[in-house]
């Protein structure tokens, strides 16, 4: 598959259909990291395997503006896994990314691994095929998993007091480095509430109350928008199980509205729309 990826990237770059191809390359110390290929002669750097965990969609934000004033923004090619394409659909729907300015090489995916184990989201993945693409590479692998929200149920089984203690213990480790937010394709606010000076919604203190405020606020802002790519959790240096907050909300959205994030770029997300006949208990 890697040769097909490289061939396509080369072709797109040589024909000047794109100015950059975003994929993965081998980094230092056996790690794999995002790659930005501008020169068709360098497509050999590209790799694809189970170590390609990052959601590259987050990098599309840095290509939204024209390089030179008066020109259109650059068109880019990007390599996406099925889960990443859900993020892309969210960005299309929110008019952040122009469909015409991105060429998507979508991959059938058997899952990625972190620390030698199949990632949690991959164990639960029922898609395995990208939802949006210009070129699809690979065959749909079997079998697929199922999201059963098991870890969320564990949390729900706790008493409110226990749950508060659980999150206090987890957030205590947070250092407010914002790696979670920066790795998140859906966190693209020009100015984050956490850093806004006027009004100062959030203080500068790196203490438990501000940390809890930040993470709960972020989870709420991602309600109906989090595609479950787990980039936040993978970026967190303190191994805080951030995705549990997002999955709890995803579970509620699915139960209330039968809605799953990022399936297409058209369906209005339930929290961004309203139907007269709706009766939602408040």
Partner 1 sequence: MKAMSRDRLLAWLEELAGRSTLIGPRIVGEKILYKPVHHSAEIVLDFAKTDLSAKEYFLPSTEAILSVKREKKGFDVEEPSLHGRQIIFGLRPCDARALRVLDALFLNKEPADPYYAERREKTTLIGLACREMGDECFCTSLGLAPDEANDVDLMLTEMAGEYAIRAVTAKGKALLGAAVLQEVEGVPPNPFVRQKQVPILEVGKWPERFDSPFWAHLSDRCLSCRLCTYVCPTCRCFDIRDVELSDKEIERLRAWDSCMAEGYRRIAGGHNPRPAKAERLRNRFYCKFCYYPQDFGPVACVGCGRCIAQCPVNVDAVEVLEGLSAL
Residues near partner 1, by CB under 8 A: 27-29, 31-36, 54, 58-59, 62, 169-170, 172-173, 175-179, 181-183, 191, 195, 197, 200, 203-207, 234-235, 237-240
Nearer to partner 1, 34 or 40 (CB): 34
Q: Scan for tokens 């996406």, then name that residue.
A: 80
State the minimum distance, in angstroms, from the CB of residue 168 to partner 1.
Answer: 12
State the minimum distance, in angstroms, from the CB of residue 212 to partner 1.
Answer: 14
Helices 208-221 and 243-257: crossing angle in degrees, nearest 10, is: 40
The Cα 96–Cα 61 span in angstroms is 8
CB 221 within 8 A of CB 184: no
Nearer to partner 1, 208 or 255 (CB): 208
State the minimum distance, in angstroms, from the CB of residue 37 to partner 1.
Answer: 10
State the minimum distance, in angstroms, from the CB of residue 170 to partner 1.
Answer: 7
The Cα 167–Cα 242 span in angstroms is 10
Using a 10 angstrom Cβ sphere, with 0-12 exposed, 13-18 middle and 19 or more buried, the burial of residue 191 is exposed
CB 86 within 8 A of CB 228: yes
Nearer to partner 1, 127 or 234 (CB): 234
State the minimum distance, in angstroms, from the CB of residue 231 to partner 1.
Answer: 8
State the minimum distance, in angstroms, from the CB of residue 182 to partner 1.
Answer: 4
Nearer to partner 1, 29 or 69 (CB): 29
The Cα 95–Cα 87 span in angstroms is 12
Task: Give every CB contact of residue 219 below 8 A, 6+ residues apart in sequence.
Answer: 226, 245, 246, 249
The H or E element that residue 106 is part of is strand 102-107
Nearer to partner 1, 113 or 260 (CB): 113
Nearer to partner 1, 132 or 187 (CB): 187
- Joined together, the tokens standing for residue 72 give 């259109």
- Joined together, the tokens standing for residue 178 give 């914002």
State the minimum distance, in angstroms, from the CB of residue 40 to partner 1.
Answer: 16
Q: What are phi and psi of 39, to 5 degrees?
A: -110, 125
Nearer to partner 1, 58 or 223 (CB): 58
Nearer to partner 1, 72 or 200 (CB): 200
State the minimum distance, in angstroms, from the CB of residue 238 to partner 1.
Answer: 6
Task: Give every CB contact of residue 107 below 8 A, 6+ residues apart in sequence.
Answer: 1, 48, 79, 80, 81, 82, 130, 136, 137, 138
């Amino acid at each position: 598959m890697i040769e097909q990826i490289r061939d396509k990237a080369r072709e797109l770059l040589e024909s000047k259909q794109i100015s950059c191809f975003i994929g993965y390359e081998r980094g230092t110390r056996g790690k794999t990291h995002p790659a930005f290929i501008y020169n068709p002669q360098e497509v050999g750097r590209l790799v694809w395997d189970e170590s390609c965990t990052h959601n590259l969609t987050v990098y599309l934000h840095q290509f939204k503006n024209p390089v030179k004033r008066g020109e259109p923004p650059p068109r880019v090619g990007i390599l996406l896994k099925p889960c990443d394409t859900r993020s892309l659909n969210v960005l299309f729907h929110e008019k952040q990314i122009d469909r015409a300015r991105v060429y998507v090489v979508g991959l059938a995916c058997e899952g990625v691994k972190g620390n030698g184990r199949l990632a949690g989201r991959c164990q639960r993945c029922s898609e395995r095929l990208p939802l949006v693409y210009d070129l699809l590479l690979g065959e749909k692998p079997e079998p697929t998993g199922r999201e059963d929200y098991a870890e969320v149920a564990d949390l729900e089984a706790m008493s409110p007091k226990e749950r508060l203690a659980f999150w206090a213990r987890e957030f205590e480790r947070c250092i407010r480095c914002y790696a979670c937010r920066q790795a998140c394709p859906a966190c693209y606010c020009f100015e984050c509430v956490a850093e806004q000076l006027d009004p100062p919604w959030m203080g500068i203190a790196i203490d438990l109350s501000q940390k809890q405020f930040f993470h709960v606020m972020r989870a709420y802002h991602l309600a109906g928008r989090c595609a479950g790519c787990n980039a936040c959790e993978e970026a967190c240096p303190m191994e805080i199980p951030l995705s549990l907050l997002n999955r709890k909300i995803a579970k509620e959205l699915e139960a209330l509205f039968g809605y799953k994030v990022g399936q297409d770029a058209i369906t209005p997300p339930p929290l961004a729309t309203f139907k007269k006949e709706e009766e939602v208990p408040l």
